[in-house]
Chain A
Amino acid sequence: MLIKQLSVFLENKSGRLTEVSKILGDCGINMLAFSVADTSEFGILRLIVSDPERACKVLHDNDFSVNLTEVVCMNCPNEPGALAKALQILSDNQITIAYLYAFSTGDSANVVLKPDQLEECIKVLQEHKMELIEASTLYKI
């Protein structure tokens, strides 16, 4: 149930994002989803990729500050109110979220979540029959 997310530290200067995507592309690593969190001076690029371990290594070898963080990916029906329902479950159970981002493939909407309590989050979502995506499935999308 745990998904490995790749995080990359980026200074706010032009061309850095291009470089990351180029390095990954050259290694045949596919980017499935990503989000950029930014401040006035730096940003953090968070990525779900087809091969997180290898992506981490190549970026590290290219002098990027990278790490792998465990996150959860939840599949929501692609319809109004679905996300609200899922988030309500989490807040009812006092699970806070550091950040989240979403991507959709066909009819399904996927939400990547970084909760403060990872195990607890998975347990609660499973108890409420929310569909969590397996890492092996996700990396092949």
Chain B
Amino acid sequence: MIWNERIECATRDEMRIIQSERLSETVKRIYHSVPYYRKKMQDAGLTPNDIEDIDDLRKLPFTTKIDLRDNYPFGLFTVPMSEIVRLHASSGTTGKPTVVGYTRKDIQMWAEVVTRSLCMAGVHRNDIVQIAYGYGLFTGGLGLHYGTENLGASVIPISGGNTTKQIQLMEDFGSSVLCCTPSYALNIAEVIKEMKVDISKLKLRVGIFGAEPWSEAMRKEIESKLKIKAIDIYGLSEIVGPGVSCECEEQCGMHINEDHFLPEVIDPETLEPVAPGEIGELVFSTITKEGLPLLRYRTRDLTRLHYEECACGRTLVRMEKCKGRSDDMLIIRGVNVFPSQIETVLLNMSEVEPHYLIIIDREGTLDTMSLMVEVQEQFFSDEIRKLQELRIKITKQLESVLGISVNVKLVEPKTIERTAGKAKRVIDNRSI
């Protein structure tokens, strides 16, 4: 089923008109309500009248995570806090998280785009949807939750973790749709096998997976192990959360809800648009959001766009699975981690020198992160107890900043390779 046929199957010309109107309105609103944006536009010699249609988009300055950090927590909100009904947060590049605020209308819009996504995945109102994304500051759980309710399907808001219970409810409640990170889906598949649950007795038929990169090989593995169709959903909290785009049952790229999120692909070096169909960095302008509209927000995700009509009948532009990042962000068990966050923690600890190396592995189905920290002479002690206390201190501080557990390993000085140029801080052993 197509949830909103008028939009999802609009002609390019119709879409262009909708986008242009919404863009120029958004620019006006931002210009008049956020001093920071107004100044940025004035510095670029722009007034709202310069932005009449989507071809004018290129004139606007970009927005990045740095802008959000500089205006932490609410500086870029365009409405008073009395209008904000929800806050979510994700990792920032340093100690401070990236905060996003939603008005009541934003929450409705978000539910609408998630509902469209669920329909793309082939979910309907008779389905029982097990939401095993984390609920909380992370947008995954609540994002899928509101969209599922809006569709009229039944939600099991189980959140992440407690895998045996997940499987028990799948059996008892007859869950037909599973929403979680792809690595957690594989983890669930393994535990199903360990528990000797007969997979043919489960009613599971669709999985909606996102929040971390995954390959076609991983898709095949999930589909064969869980006997389901595995659908890729994309989103980032700055733009709205999950539901920015989603695959349809054709599984040939994710349809962007472009009447709300206007996409561009740029060359991350020159910042100029790439030729149509070329790979570059995905940039979004939100053109309906009230709480925190963002213009030309650089996602750092690398992908390409396809504008041809899809076999499913939708005309919404499709983006390919992300090919990587134009920055050093890591996604571990669905959590965004920047090496700079780790560096900040280490620099704030007087005992440690910031010589470190992050090692990402996939043990079984779950990602693990280890951090090698050199034991420098100034904090080396002849007592084991003191070194272990140091190790625990680093572990705890990292855990509180990153929100995931890190296996800290103390290593000898000069173990970590020194390079003349940019230090190599990350070894990613995952094959994804």
Binding site for B on A (CB under 8 A): 5, 7, 9-11, 16, 37, 39, 41-42, 44, 46, 60, 63-67, 69, 98-99, 114
Name the segment of B55-63, B380-388, B392-400 touching the other chain: B380-388
Q: B414: which A residues are within 8 A, CB to CB?
A: 63
Whether B382 contacts A64 by the Cβ 8 Å rule is: no
A interface: dominant SS = strand
Whether A65 contacts B388 by the Cβ 8 Å rule is: no
The residue in chain A whose Cβ has the minimal distance to the Cβ of B412 is A11
From A44, A60, A66, A114, B387 is in contact (CB under 8 Å) with A44
CB contacts under 8 Å to A, within B385-430, are: 385, 387-388, 409-415
Whether A7 contacts B380 by the Cβ 8 Å rule is: yes
Q: A9-B412, A39-B388, A42-B410 are in contact. Are A60 and B383 (CB under 8 A)?
A: no
Would you list 6 pairs from A and B whose C-beta atoms are within 8 A, ordered by A residue?
A9-B410, A11-B411, A42-B387, A44-B382, A44-B384, A67-B380
Docked complex Cα distance between A5 and B388 (Å)? 21
Whether B380 contacts A41 by the Cβ 8 Å rule is: no
Docked complex Cα distance between A126 and B316 (Å)? 88
Whether A65 contacts B375 by the Cβ 8 Å rule is: yes
Whether A65 contacts B384 by the Cβ 8 Å rule is: no
Whether A66 contacts B377 by the Cβ 8 Å rule is: yes
Q: A11-B415, A44-B387 are in contact. Are A67 and B410 (CB under 8 A)?
A: no
Q: A37: which B residues are within 8 A, CB to CB?
A: 384
Q: A69: which B residues are within 8 A, CB to CB?
A: 382
Q: A60-B377, A67-B377 are in contact. Are A10 and B383 (CB under 8 A)?
A: no
The residue in chain A whose Cβ has the minimal distance to the Cβ of B384 is A37
B187 at the interface (CB under 8 A from A): no
From B384, B412, B415, A39 is in contact (CB under 8 Å) with B384
B interface: dominant SS = loop
Q: B384: which A residues are within 8 A, CB to CB?
A: 37, 39, 44
Q: B163: which A residues are within 8 A, CB to CB?
A: none
Q: A9-B375, A39-B388, A60-B377 are in contact. Are A65 and B383 (CB under 8 A)?
A: no
Q: A11: which B residues are within 8 A, CB to CB?
A: 410-412, 415
CB contacts under 8 Å to A, within B341-399, are: 375-377, 380-385, 387-388
The residue in chain B whose Cβ has the minimal distance to the Cβ of A46 is B382
Whether B382 contacts A10 by the Cβ 8 Å rule is: no
Whether B380 contacts A10 by the Cβ 8 Å rule is: no
From A7, A42, A60, B382 is in contact (CB under 8 Å) with A7
B381 to chain A, nearest CB (A): 8
B126 to chain A, nearest CB (A): 52
Whether B412 contacts A10 by the Cβ 8 Å rule is: yes
Tell which of B409, B411, B415 has the most Cβ of chain A within 10 Å: B411
Whether A65 contacts B413 by the Cβ 8 Å rule is: yes
11 further interface pairs, Cβ-Cβ under 8 Å (given A5-B382, A65-B380): A7-B382, A11-B411, A11-B412, A41-B410, A42-B410, A44-B383, A63-B413, A64-B412, A65-B375, A65-B412, A66-B377
B359 to chain A, nearest CB (A): 14
Mask, B309-329, CB within 8 Å of A = 1, is: 000000000000000000000
Docked complex Cα distance between A87 and B415 (Å)? 40
A16 to chain B, nearest CB (A): 8
Q: A60: which B residues are within 8 A, CB to CB?
A: 377
The residue in chain B whose Cβ has the minimal distance to the Cβ of A6 is B382
Docked complex Cα distance between A86 and B376 (Å)? 36
